[in-house]
Structure 1
């Protein structure tokens, strides 16, 4: 029971007792009766005055409590001209002012932090208990390819795709480099911070493609230029000398002449082959900037099909063209993209068995090109290295085709992947600068 109610109950009971006693006075005690009534009246007035003195502070305290419960830190209490109560009100108002300032500062910090997280190029995922996602920024949404899916309340294991599954395996305080489809490289780290005694976990995802590709390109460009310069200069001079030397064959004995000529021709041919190898490497370095124009990607796939169809007859390849209706216009360098598609189809032709199938597909939603085959497939240990410069799983391969394709697609700011799913090896190209036909 509240203090004011206790006081009110006490005052009522006390005055009822006084009234009862007055009513039971002897009739001859009229003076006492009148005096008693006056005293009771004065007591009622004093009690009412005291009750108001208790009720007003109590009301103010209740108002302050309700304001704190409602987190309304803008309400201040007015002084009552009672020194004890005014001291309490002064402390309360100071506390409210402090809470309001702290809330404003906290709100400003949270607003700035939300803006920074939202604008960060790194993916950031905040986790609740049981590893449920409580917040995720736009960069992480794009990296995890969530689209319009609301990931809040989900676990990483609930999200389809290889990247979220690999991230879910990372322990607290650990960092890991994850390669997806041989083309996308991510640095992922899981850590935590303590707030109000509770641990909150978060995951940082950084895409390393651009940084790694630039370093790789700088390194191999320098090496190839040195190799090309030194080798071509030497080979040209050596072949010139060998061609001169071969003219002296007539001065040799007839029995030695043929072996002499064959040996020199072998040396000359090997030098030419070495020069061709260096020239192939130099192609990667000498890729020009794309000349961007509007082209129909469907027509480009048809052209590649016509060019490679004759080669496919050797294995009686079944060609399947599944192209979206109408034109699929994109701003590209058609010659460079055509070279990429030819390289991909060549690899597919080498992979398929006799009477195998190669599909050439295009789609608008999502806007993408896909070349797939039901050939040998890509082993798991090879898939992580596919787009490493000059890596090749072929016995005598130089890895130039995929390296060249990678550079062209990066220059077009395209996304790409190469993987085997359900016995089909798919090379997908997306993120072209598509526009309405």
Structure 2
């Protein structure tokens, strides 16, 4: 397509060409008139050329501005020329380019802030593409997906605008909230994964702590006087064998009840860990030696995959020992008879694997007072949880296959 300036020049050339031809035929008999007419045509050409330059200059400047905008270069500004129409155009263009530059700077700052916020957020953020597949995750979400592979299936199953709380390993509880935004005219979804574990555990501990303290108070107030009366009766009164035996059994049951309540009280009174440089390998061997007899009675073998060199961790050795004892007891009970318990140390991890029947209700494992054993108190794994969380360690208890259940502790 012919450009506007080309059309203008062509029009001027044709118009003056026709004028030259006409003056030649009209004034060829009169040389002076012909000369004057030629001078007028020449002046007309000069004026037309100057008008062309004055008219085409704003267009050229406008094209330069359009090219700068197309290249997203908002730093190109024009200087005033002293011509009214031109300066009006330049003023409007400069205002527009200044506004665009300010908006782009503001947008870049907001984008940088949002990106920084997403990357440093303690909440996991998962961004999906148009097809609902994983596209972008922040570091926290990446960590969660690595430790909880089934989290992604929960995310995909969630509807837009929905939220739910889940517990995938019986230890940590997460709140998933799914929403969407418009990108290029089409909806895209993102999911926020917020860990509720600390809040839930604090509320849970507050509740069962009050219950245990109330129970311990009532039991102790009852057992003390009753045991005193029984002891006095056994010493002061001549009793037949049947009554003496009954009173001795009652005293023993009271002592058993006292020990029962002391186990609960230990859970509530667990002190903060006194963390020191501790030999992890030595602790494992010491606990295994302590639990060897109960394991042998059920034909359960201990196997060790431990490094030759010493492995050091920052831990409260007494609490860590108590936690390992409870884990091993749980594994022995899960196996029943005939099996293996394997201890493996990896990079910043301790893995205790048993060949038991697996976990039936993983979500309830670390719930206080929950037990699958008829005579269980349901505080063993709860105490383990409190000790490990007190150290700031991550852990999991999962069944990976038939006769393959693993308790994994991640030291940090």
Quick check: TM above 0.5? yes
Per the alignment, in what secondary structure is the counterpart of residue 89 of structure 1?
helix
Deviation for aligned residue 1:26: 8.7
Identify the match of residue 425 of structure 1 among 394, 399, 405.
405
Aligned partner of 2:353 among 372, 375, 386: 372
Tell whether the 8 Å contact from 2:169 to 2:398 is kept in structure 1 after alignment: yes
Q: Structure 2 matches for 1:39-58, cutoff 5 A?
A: 39-58=40-59
CA separation of 1:101 and 1:83: change in aligned 2, threshold 3 A: same
Select which of 318, 322, 346 maps to 1:363.
346
Aligned length: 410
Change in CA separation of 1:53 and 1:133 when aligned onto 2, cut-off 3 Å: farther
Check if 1:416 corresponds to 2:395: yes
CA deviation after TM superposition for structure 1 residue 73, in Å: 2.3
Distance in 1 between the 2:25 and 2:313 partners?
Answer: 109
Moved more, 78-87 or 414-423: 78-87
Q: Distance in 2 between matches of 1:71 and 1:393?
A: 67
Deviation at 1:374, TM superposition (A): 1.5
Q: What SS is found at the alignment partner of 1:180?
A: coil
Give the SS at the match of 1:129.
Answer: coil
Which of 290, 301, 310 aligns to 1:307? It is 290
Q: Which runs of 5+ in 1 are unaligned?
A: 147-159, 252-256
Say whether the 8 Å CA contact 2:27–2:33 is kept in structure 1: no
Per-residue CA deviation, residues 132-170 of structure 1 (Å, 9 max, x unaligned), is 445433322222238xxxxxxxxxxxxx70122212211
Conservation of the 8 A alpha-carbon contact between 1:295 and 1:331 = yes
Q: 1:299 to 1:17 in 2, by over 3 A?
A: farther
The 3 A distance-change label for structure 1 pair 214 and 266 is: same
Q: Is it true that 1:116 corresponds to 2:97 in the alignment?
A: no
8 Å CA contact 2:159–2:178 kept in 1: the answer is: yes
Partner secondary structure for residue 393 of structure 1 = coil
Structure 1 residue 90: Cα displacement: 2.4
Cα displacement string for residues 367-402 of structure 1 (whole angstroms, at most 9, x for unaligned residues): 2000011111111xx100111122212121111211
Give deviations 1:47-67, integer Å, cap 9, x for gaps.
211110122101111011112
Match of 1:383 among 337, 352, 362: 362
Corresponding residue SS for 1:417: strand
Higher mean displacement: 193-202 or 127-136:
193-202
Given that residues 27 and 34 in structure 2 are in contact (C-alpha distance below 8 angstroms), is that contact kept between their aligned partners in structure 1?
no
Checking the alignment, whether the CA contact within 8 Å between 2:335 and 2:356 is kept in structure 1 is yes
Once the two structures are TM-superposed, the CA of residue 114 in structure 1 deviates from its matched residue by 3.0
Question: Residue 156 of structure 1 corresponds to which residue in structure 2?
Answer: none
Q: Does 1:338 align with 2:321?
A: yes
SS in 1 for 2:385: helix
Larger mean Cα displacement after TM superposition, 388-397 or 121-130: 121-130
Deviations 1:185-216 (A, max 9, x none): 10111123457865453222111111111111
Secondary structure at the residue paired with 1:359?
A: strand
Q: Which residue of 1 aligns with 2:169?
A: 181
Q: CA deviation at 1:40?
A: 3.2
389-398 or 303-312: bigger deviation: 303-312
Q: CA deviation at 1:39?
A: 3.1
Output the CA distance in 2 between the equivalents of 1:198 and 1:84.
Answer: 44
The more displaced of 76-85 and 16-25 is 16-25
**Which moved further from structure 2: 5-14 or 387-396?**
5-14
Q: TM-score, structure 2 length as denominator?
A: 0.90
Moved more, 201-210 or 71-80: 71-80
- Are 2:220 and 1:220 aligned? no
Q: CA RMSD in A?
A: 2.5
